[in-house]
Amino acid sequence: MMDMEKTNKLGFETVSLDDDASALVIIDQTRLPNEQKILRLTTQKEIWDAIYLLQVRGAPAIGVAAAYGIYLAAKEIDTTDYNAFAKAFDKAREYLNSSRPTAVNLSWALARMGKIVEAGQGTSVAEIKKRLMAEARAIQAEDIEMCRKIGEHGLSLLKPGMGLLTHCNAGQLATSRYGTATAPMYLGHERGYGFRIFCDETRPLLQGARLTAYELSAAGMDVTLLCDGMAASAMRNGWVDAVFTGADRVAANGDAANKIGTFPLAIAAKRFGIPFYICAPSSTVDLDTLTGKDIKIEQRPAEEVTTMWYKVRMAPDNIKVFNPAFDVTDADLITAIITEKGVHYPPFSESLKKA
């Protein structure tokens, strides 16, 4: 088993339920790396805002936060009548589900919690609430285990001393532990592989610079930060042996939505013959979504591009802005998709279904 005591130097959990199960506890990721601010969220509005504002972010972490969030909503529903409870629960579920559209882990976790309520018909509401808490905890425990296995499968493809490039943050801060794209890096680091890691800064919200560079360097890895547009030059220089990214939703044919900027990275990797791997737990694979065209891409406010990280506005007033949070990498650009079940190669419509 990977020893996160050695690799996790962050000293906080990305997401958890507090000791008396009355609040969702997260590290506010919008303040990292400069400030470690822990938030205790109790109301549905606070949890919705935290997901929308990316205080908690990354597909698996959003799923875990939603599971705890809907448990907290259920706990507050003051009725012993099953039908009234189920109705109020569904309303709360719809509300949380509207916070971000692209990462399927959000609706996946909420649907899984919904099944507990459906299966509970005939039992007491108090018992259903207990089961919901257990299910949310199980979702988190499974996430840790899935990421650990992704790390093992990913590492089996790598050799010591390799240069690995990653985009956005698919790390511990995007999951409960280990990360997805970073899991092989953590594991290899612990086993003395001496990887050279390249992190795209990831415009416009800088998850690569603020979060991935932060967590991997805190773990003691050799990390180099790049602006997104520099990745192809790093590849041309021969520094990159493989690209590892996460995903927010993988369609049945293998098309994968991930943070904006992933798609051009895959094109560049193809140009230089560099393997491009998507790492994602099976909870991110959505066989009901047939191709990337069916994935809803979240559009974010213009201020994230023009203003947010600057002391003064860095664009003309009233300029038009295109700010999609994600793009879709076509399946034919992906060398393999790594889940907890193994390394899946094209044709993905067959290998994912089989897995």
Which residues are at the interface with ligand MRU (CB under 6 A)? 54, 57-60, 103, 168, 170, 174-175, 179-180, 207, 246-248, 258-259, 325
CB 126, min distance to ligand MRU, A: 35
Of the pair 177, 259, the CB lying nearest ligand MRU is at: 259
Of the pair 25, 170, the CB lying nearest ligand MRU is at: 170
CA 26/CA 214 separation, integer angstroms:
17
CB 257, min distance to ligand MRU, A: 8
Burial class (CB within 10 angstroms; exposed 0-12, middle 13-18, buried 19+) of 67: buried
What is the sign of the dihedral through the CA atoms of 173, 353, 107 and 303?
Answer: positive
CB 60, min distance to ligand MRU, A: 5
**CA-based nearest residue to 63, from 251, 256, 248, 215:** 248
CB 170, min distance to ligand MRU, A: 4
Of the pair 133, 247, the CB lying nearest ligand MRU is at: 247
Instruction: Collapse the DSSP code of 254 into the 3-class scheme (helix H, G, I; strand E, B; otherwise coil) and give the result.
Output: coil
Sole residue written with tokens 């559009």: 299
Other Cβ atoms closer than 10 A to 3: 10
CA 149/CA 21 separation, integer angstroms:
28
List CB contacts of 109: < 8 A, sequence separation 6 or more: 63, 64, 66, 67, 70, 139, 283
Q: Are strands 222-226 and 196-200 parallel, antiparallel or unpaired?
A: parallel
What is the sign of the dihedral through the CA atoms of 139, 144, 150 and 156?
Answer: negative
**Active-site option among 228, 248, 255, 327:** 248
CB 217, min distance to ligand MRU, A: 18
And the tokens for 66? 């939603």
And the tokens for 20? 């008396």
CA 16/CA 65 separation, integer angstroms:
8
Nearest position to ligand MRU, beta carbon: 246
Of the pair 163, 179, the CB lying nearest ligand MRU is at: 179
N-to-C CA span, the chain: 23
Of the pair 215, 248, the CB lying nearest ligand MRU is at: 248
Of the pair 86, 103, the CB lying nearest ligand MRU is at: 103
Sole residue written with tokens 């949310």: 136
CA 95/CA 82 separation, integer angstroms:
20
Is 255 part of the annotated catalytic residue set? no
Of the pair 155, 174, the CB lying nearest ligand MRU is at: 174
List CB contacts of 189: < 8 A, sequence separation 6 or more: 7, 195, 219, 220, 221
CB 312, min distance to ligand MRU, A: 25
CB 172, min distance to ligand MRU, A: 9
The catalytic residues are 248
